């Protein structure tokens, strides 16, 4: 089991994939689970419910160690320039959704 720093939270971003995408046939939605620091937005771990594990691993490699607050544009750029799957747009939506949910966590009193 992976251990995360105290205070880490898990936020889940959600998006619909295109109807012809195999993810839609298997999972109906594309989901990205992010374990992150609610103060800095630093991503400790991330996983997507893709069909192939290597796809999720590749996407994670583009995002780990980045901040959902300060690096969002860079993360979107990396996905747009390095990931050439049908879910590219859905992943961008997930990144923005996860960042918004993390901001909600940051705003909550401890």
Q: What angle do CA 59, 64, 69 make, to 5 degrees?
A: 105
CA distances from 43 to 16, 39, 40, 77 (A): 23, 11, 9, 17
Phi, psi (5° rounding) for residue 49?
Answer: -90, 55
At 4-56, the pLDDT tens digits run: 999 999 999 988 766 665 555 555 678 999 999 999 999 999 999 887 899 99
pTM of the entire predicted model: 0.87
Taking a C-beta distance cutoff of 8 angstroms, is the pair 46, 66 a contact?
no
Residue 87's pLDDT band, with cuts at 50, 70 and 90, is confident
Domain at 9-103, CATH class: alpha beta
Does the pLDDT value for residue 85 go beyond 80? yes
Pairwise CA distance, residues 38 & 8, whole Å: 7
């Amino acid at each position: 089991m992976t251990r995360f720093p105290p205070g880490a939270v898990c936020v889940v971003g959600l998006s619909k994939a295109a109807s012809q995408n195999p993810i839609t046939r298997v999972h109906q939605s594309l989901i990205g689970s992010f374990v992150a620091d609610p103060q800095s937005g630093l991503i400790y771990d991330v996983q997507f419910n893709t069909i192939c594990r290597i796809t999720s691993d590749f996407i994670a490699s583009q995002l780990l160690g980045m901040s959902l607050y300060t690096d969002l544009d860079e993360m979107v750029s990396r996905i747009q320039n390095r990931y050439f799957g049908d879910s590219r747009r859905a992943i961008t939506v997930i990144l923005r959704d996860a960042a918004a949910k993390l901001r909600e966590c940051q705003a909550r009193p401890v």
